[in-house]
Amino acid sequence: MAQPGNEMDEDKFCCSVCLDVLKEPVTLPCGHNYCLACIRGSWDQEESRGASSCPQCRQSFSPRPVLVKNRLLAQLLEELRPSGLHAAPAAPDAPDAPDAPDALCHAGPEDVACDFCSGRKLKAVKSCLTCLASYCQQHLQPHHRVASFKRHQLVAPCGQLQENVCSAHREPMKMFCRTDRQSICFLCSLDRHRDHDTASAAAERTERQRELEVSSGDIQQRIQAREEDVKLLQQELEDILHSADTAVRTTESISTQFIHYIQNMSSTLKQQIRNQQEAESSRVQELQRKLEQEIAELKKRQEELKKLLHTEDDIQFLRKFPPPLRFSETRISHPHTKLNPDRLLASLNIEATLSASWDMVTEIFSNNFSKVTLTRPKAEPKTRKQFLQHLHKMSLDPETASPNLTVASDNRWVANLSGEKCSCRKPERTGGCPRILSKDSLTGRRYWELEIGGRCSVALLYRDTDNFPVKSGFGSEDQWWSLEVGCFLCMFRHNGALTVIPGPPPSILAVDLDHSAGTLSFYKVSKTMTLLHRVETSFTRPLYAGLCLHRGWADLT
């Protein structure tokens, strides 16, 4: 037996393929020694690559060198064999070690096989980026025991190591050309890529990894944003279903009180609600499906990026580096306030208001029934504080008031105490309900509020001359936009069209005008701001505010 001090000497006489003492030793042109049978078997496996190489230094030989027995080395081995020369014992994690039950695991279809196993190959446990080969536990031992191998870079098993070799120079590709966006070897950087922007593969990987981490963070934020959108859409869908159901029940209640008038219209109204429910539900469900699909795809991409981040091989990392994702920043539009079930159709108390509202009821359910629509409010500022930034102190013009109206001295309170329709002060103003205009014209951004008691119409209109519009209301219907606040609901009128706005009428009404943007919005003011109706048009001239008091009073707060 050799003495322990000779163990390193014994390593020098071992074949790096079979890990045993050399048998019929042969020496390659690069100077490394192997068993004759081992190197032939290794080269037979390399035939598909068209060149033979040294398993240790990876130097290529083409054509395959003629293998001649190294007689001097063979003679030396014969002289040392009687002294007990043998291969060094396997490391504790070697395949024949008793505490390594899984070491003899054979490579499956999805595994990386050992490049040096003959016959049925074992599963590789490491790949060497210096040797460009993969090793099972047994054939990996020289990298743990031989000093020259300990400097090699070992990584997790990788099955595409030959892709790390330059096809033109047969050199490892350890550089990256940023101009051509491809991996190259050092000789390529001196040749075809001489004037290009090049860097080491490690430096480029560091830069790309930072980009990948940023992209991964962006994807995570997008996933969270889309998940939040899905939740909001789900809530909106529930509100739509609940609102539609409430509208149907309320419609049935109304129908029983207006049997002689609404009986034939009730089923039509219910169908309108159901049709819009189906349309809105389909829209939201489709958006929800697309968002869930996008989330799934983003999560899949996220997993791929995480896996790529753990790739230790720089070349494989760069080869698999995905192009940057281009996100569409369009977000889902949804109202900031929930749909109010009472907004679809009001709960009408007909018995209490029949005498005062019969003219409104007959108009709604006869002449304009087909024009009743369900409106979804668009996103608007949430708080009253935001609206008050554009507050305009409105004043009324007593010279434009009908004779039945009483105007306070501060020109901010007006009332129709008689409850009668009357003639106006000038003959050309005859007809219509008692009314009054604002003193100043309105342009730019204006916001004001008024408290209402009774039935009142609030309008924005053009005023071409000093003459007040004739006959009815505020004159030509295409020249004004009016919201009528009744006893149990609101109606918006413009150019012959009527839009019913169900729900309890407001006691405090807010008007928000953006003249340049062409928007006019009416809000119900309470603890929150509730959008009643919104107009989007193009205003061509300055507007005036108008009040038409059917009965009651209005106070510009």
Q: Which two tokens stand for residue 435?
A: 């009314």
Helical (H) or strand (E) element with 240: helix 201-257
pLDDT tens-place string over residues 84-124: 565 444 433 433 443 344 445 777 777 888 888 876 788 88
Q: What is the CA radius of gyration of the chain?
A: 44
Helical (H) or strand (E) element with 468: none
Same fold, 1-88 and 375-556: no
pLDDT band at 19 (very low <50, low <70, confident <90, very high): confident
pLDDT of the residue at 207: 87
User: How far out from the chain centre does Cα 406 lie?
Assistant: 58
Q: Which two tokens stand for residue 422?
A: 């009357």
Helical (H) or strand (E) element with 500: strand 497-501
pLDDT of the residue at 545: 93
Superfamily of domain 375-556: SPRY domain (2.60.120.920)
pLDDT tens-place string over residues 391-442: 999 899 998 888 888 899 999 999 987 655 443 343 333 346 788 999 989 9
Does residue 347 carry a pLDDT above 80?
Answer: no
Q: Which two tokens stand for residue 448?
A: 């004001």
Do strands 198-200 and 182-184 pair parallel, antiparallel, or not at all (unpaired)?
unpaired
Give the mean model confidence (pLDDT) for residues 269-285.
82
Distance CA 98, CA 330 (A): 61
Q: What percent of the chain has pLDDT over 70?
A: 75
Q: Which of 224, 223, 176, 216 is nearest to 310 (CA)?
A: 216
pLDDT of the residue at 543: 93
Q: Which of 143, 372, 401, 337 is nearest to 250 (CA)?
A: 372
Q: Which of 432, 348, 448 is nearest to 389 (CA)?
A: 448
- What secondary structure letter does DSSP report for 69? B
In total, the chain counts a number of residues equal to 557
Give the helix, strand, coil percentages of the chain, each rounded to 5: 35, 20, 40
Partners of 155 in the β-ladder:
127
Distance CA 514, CA 465 (A): 23
pLDDT tens-place string over residues 474-516: 766 788 899 999 878 899 999 888 888 888 889 999 999 999 8
Does residue 469 carry a pLDDT above 60?
Answer: no
Top-confidence residue, 469 or 46:
46
Residue 286 burial by Cβ neighbours in a 10 Å radius (0-12, 13-18, 19+): exposed
Q: Domain-by-domain residue ranges, the chain? A: 1-88, 219-339, 375-556
Instruction: Kindly report the CATH class assigned to 1-88.
Output: alpha beta
Measure the CA dihedral 290/293/297/299, to 10°. 110
Phi, psi of 186, rounded to the nearest 5 degrees? -65, -40
Q: Which strand ranges, in their side-by-side order, compose the sheet holding 126-128?
A: 133-135, 126-128, 154-155
pLDDT of the residue at 95: 39
Distance CA 464, CA 469 (A): 10
Distance CA 104, CA 270 (A): 74
Q: Which of the residue ranges 46-55, 63-72, 439-448, 467-476 has the most confident prediction, judged by mean pLDDT? A: 439-448
Measure the CA dihedral 281/244/233/287, to 10°. 10
- Picking from 261-270, 319-328, 453-462, which range would have the lowest pLDDT averaged per residue? 261-270
Does residue 330 carry a pLDDT above 60?
Answer: no
Beta carbons of 163 and 315 less than 8 angstroms apart = yes
Distance CA 113, CA 107 (A): 5
pLDDT of the residue at 449: 94
pTM: 0.35
